[in-house]
Amino acid sequence: MNPVEWYRNKRIVITGGLGFIGSTLAHRLVGYGARVRVVDAALAGSGANPLNIRGIESAIELWRADLREHDVIETMLVDQDVLFNLAAQAGHLASMEDPETDLTINATCQLRIVEACHRLNPTLKIVHTATRQMYGRTHELPIDEDHAINPIDYNGVSKRAGELYLLVGHRAHGLRVTSLRLTNTYGPRMHCRDARQHFLGDWVRRVLTDQPILVFGNGSQIRDFNYVDDVVAALLSAAAEPSTDGRVYNLGSDEPISLTDLAHTLTAVYGRGRIEYTRFPPDRERIDIGDYHGDFTRIHAALAWAPTTSLRTGLASTLAFVNQQREGYL
Amino acid sequence: MNPVEWYRNKRIVITGGLGFIGSTLAHRLVGYGARVRVVDAALAGSGANPLNIRGIESAIELWRADLREHDVIETMLVDQDVLFNLAAQAGHLASMEDPETDLTINATCQLRIVEACHRLNPTLKIVHTATRQMYGRTHELPIDEDHAINPIDYNGVSKRAGELYLLVGHRAHGLRVTSLRLTNTYGPRMHCRDARQHFLGDWVRRVLTDQPILVFGNGSQIRDFNYVDDVVAALLSAAAEPSTDGRVYNLGSDEPISLTDLAHTLTAVYGRGRIEYTRFPPDRERIDIGDYHGDFTRIHAALAWAPTTSLRTGLASTLAFVNQQREGYL
């Protein structure tokens, strides 16, 4: 597939399109000549940032709308070719504090998308984004898609229910659904103002503002990281390839790394920075998943996808972007 | 464990206690000297039947209340020892027609039970009932608890989400939760007026009223059946045994049987009856799971549970009960 050709004039709707990944996808699609509609409620505490679409404001159609409001889902997807389904309540701690909002956004709204798509646009391609958090505490790494789903927080439950609704949409109604299970995604435009979206955003801010990076526990936990451009490439390929209908794919990385090593890499790439070890806050510890490393063999086989940006390169780009746009991101 | 001793004076709440399984459990518990509270909304289309508690009306506390109403969940579980969590939207076809009601009852209410239990009664033992429908279309029989969860209808999604919420309640809050995944349950007090709860209830009514049994397709699909007293025994054992906390168990049977053979067994046990084969209605076919046979090795090892009632014996008891109480069940 030549994505530039495939996407030209395609009608694309991106939910959560003011967020980090959605907006990066929107920039790419505008470059490909697609007709991009961004739908985002810009909820407080979400990753939505109006600066994320700087430079493409006039090239996209922006709907400030909440998927929970009457008719938004039905209206947004009529006559569209592809739905990139990135709107989600992503916070694990937040899900423990307000689990019903988490359930409504991540599961009920997905059910409504399936029903609306079935009724109004049954040939729409839906690329959904799920999360490795659904696997829970895992033991044998790397984790492939057949691993048991044992979430340890409410967010993992609601995200799994949303994915299952979309898959029932495929099985029972023939809808064209693909779910990508993302691992930690980082890059330019990531939310850095606090640790609500991702601890790595918090670390980036701390490095750039001469504050110590906080590592919980002994820092031995293993994680994998994908640079946002690699995630966008996976989303674009999945949407354009019909054989992905009804399938679920992990993303992942060949560079799993401990949090201690990640902290040292980040400070080394920036050229300075301090690291402090601190006790695990109890509310975070009880929902910590331990080690994680995703097996992306399946998407590599199906779409020849593999991450192409090394952690050092990606971290350097991220630091450079946020450092240049401090007023919007710090 | 001597159940008679263990349950004497225990405070027990049974949601869905006017239904087939819940009411049979209530009868048993009253016999054991437990203090039984039955909570049931008696929704139209549910399996609730006031006749199910005939004989124990004055021995139980009956709440006609909907779990979705404000404060019902909180109030019902305070100071209780055991919650048997049988209230559910069980209809597969119904879930495809009204999926949000299905989601609210099967998932949102379970989340509220977890939150209320965590806050108001953290030592309550919860025995939840889930369904083999969550496994979806399976290939290698029998199916154990580690089999992938791939529901093919909305009801399977909502039931799975509810089970996962309860398990997160165990993992994150230390709640005492056990989930039993039931297969087809039959016996006295089963809903026979239509096929909404179970096709076997419909068959029982047809045999007793000289109408032909309808078998969809060629009747080769394999199913397994548990007599209700065996299911009640599993519920009672699971509640009384602390080592079941946080665990999931299949029920199942050593007598898997094709629908054709089941139809012949039923008519043979009754002594007469006709069988008609008919095309699968499309709305049922798209959510049919094919063959199923549950592996109950795990609960046998943990609780020495195994079904003790043969299919012929159980069908004879069922036919005799419904035949004697035609006015209430046909």
Is any Cβ of chain A less than 8 angstroms from the Cβ of B101? Answer: no
CB contact under 8 A, B107 and A107: yes
CB contact under 8 A, A161 and B156: no
Q: Return the bridge partners of A85, or none.
A: A15, A128
Contact A80, A13 (CB under 8 A): yes
The chain-wide mean pLDDT, for chain A, equals 95
Query: By CA distance, what is B109's nearest residue in A?
Result: A100
B239 located within any domain: yes
Pick the residue of B149, B154, B247 with the most A CBs within 10 A to test the interface with A by mutation: B154
Return left, alpha or beta for B78; rule: phi > 0 is left, psi -120 to 50 is alpha, else beta: beta
Is any Cβ of chain B less than 8 angstroms from the Cβ of A168? Answer: yes
Q: Return the bridge partners of B283, or none.
A: none
> What's the pLDDT at A327?
93
Confidence of residue A1 (pLDDT cuts 50, 70, 90): low
Q: What is the DSSP string of A63-132?
A: EE--TTSTTHHHHHHTT-SEEEE------HHHHHHSHHHHHIIIIIHHHHHHHHHHHH-TT-EEEEEEEG
B322 located within any domain: no
The chain-wide mean pLDDT, for chain B, equals 95
How many distinct structural domains can be found in chain A?
Answer: 1
B149 located within any domain: yes
> What's the pLDDT at B118?
98
Pick from B149, B157, B168: CB nearest A153: B168
Q: Give the H or E element holding residue B275.
A: strand B275-278
> What's the pLDDT at A46?
87
Pick from B153, B157, B287: CB nearest A161: B157
Q: Which residues of chain B have pLDDT under 50?
A: none
> What's the pLDDT at B273?
95
**The pair of three-digit structure tokens given for residue A281, joined into one six-digit string:** 């806050």
Total CB pairs under 8 A between chain A and B: 74
What value of ipTM does the predicted structure carry?
Answer: 0.93
Residues in B 127-156 with any Cβ partner in A closer than 8 A? 136, 146, 148-154, 156
A33 located within any domain: yes
CB contact under 8 A, B154 and A111: yes
CB contact under 8 A, B160 and A164: yes
Q: Contacts of residue A286 in chain B, CB cutoff 8 Å?
A: 172
> What's the pLDDT at A3?
74
Pick from A153, A158, A168: CB nearest B151: A168
In order of A21, B82, B141, B193, the CA distances from A129 in angstroms are 10, 39, 32, 43
CB contact under 8 A, B150 and A167: yes
CB contact under 8 A, A168 and B157: yes
> What's the pLDDT at B217?
86
Where b means 16+ CB within 10 Å and e means fewer, B104-121 reads: bbbbbbbbbbbbbbeeeb
Look at residue A232 and tell me whether its pLDDT is greater than 80. yes
Q: Contacts of residue A108 in chain B, CB cutoff 8 Å?
A: 100, 103
B205 located within any domain: no
> Taking the complete model, does pTM exceed 0.90, yes or no?
yes
Is any Cβ of chain A less than 8 angstroms from the Cβ of B105? Answer: no
Mean pLDDT of A257-266: 97
Closest-CA distance, B240 to chain A, in angstroms, reads 25
Pick from B111, B148, B156: CB nearest A103: B111
Specify the amino acid at residue B92.
Answer: H
Contact A307, A227 (CB under 8 A): yes
CATH number of the domain bearing residue B11: 3.40.50.720
B261 located within any domain: no
> What's the pLDDT at B40?
97
Is any Cβ of chain A less than 8 angstroms from the Cβ of B103? Answer: yes
Print the domain residue range for B28: 3-191+225-254+294-310
* Cβ contacts of B75 within 8 Å, gap of 6 or more: none
Is any Cβ of chain A less than 8 angstroms from the Cβ of B169? Answer: no
B321 located within any domain: no
A321 located within any domain: no
Could you identify the residue written with the tokens 């990076």? A213
Look at residue A148 and tell me whether its pLDDT is greater than 70. yes
Closest-CA distance, A249 to chain B, in angstroms, reads 15
The alpha carbon of A310 is separated from its chain's Cα centroid by a whole number of angstroms, namely 18
Query: By CA distance, what is A98's nearest residue in B?
Result: B115
In order of A130, A134, B141, B150, the CA distances from A246 in angstroms are 14, 18, 24, 12
Closest-CA distance, B173 to chain A, in angstroms, reads 8
* Cβ contacts of A216 within 8 Å, gap of 6 or more: A259, A278, A279, A280, A281, A284, A285, A288
Q: Contacts of residue A172 in chain B, CB cutoff 8 Å?
A: 96, 152-153, 286-287
CB contact under 8 A, A152 and B165: no
CB contact under 8 A, B108 and A103: yes
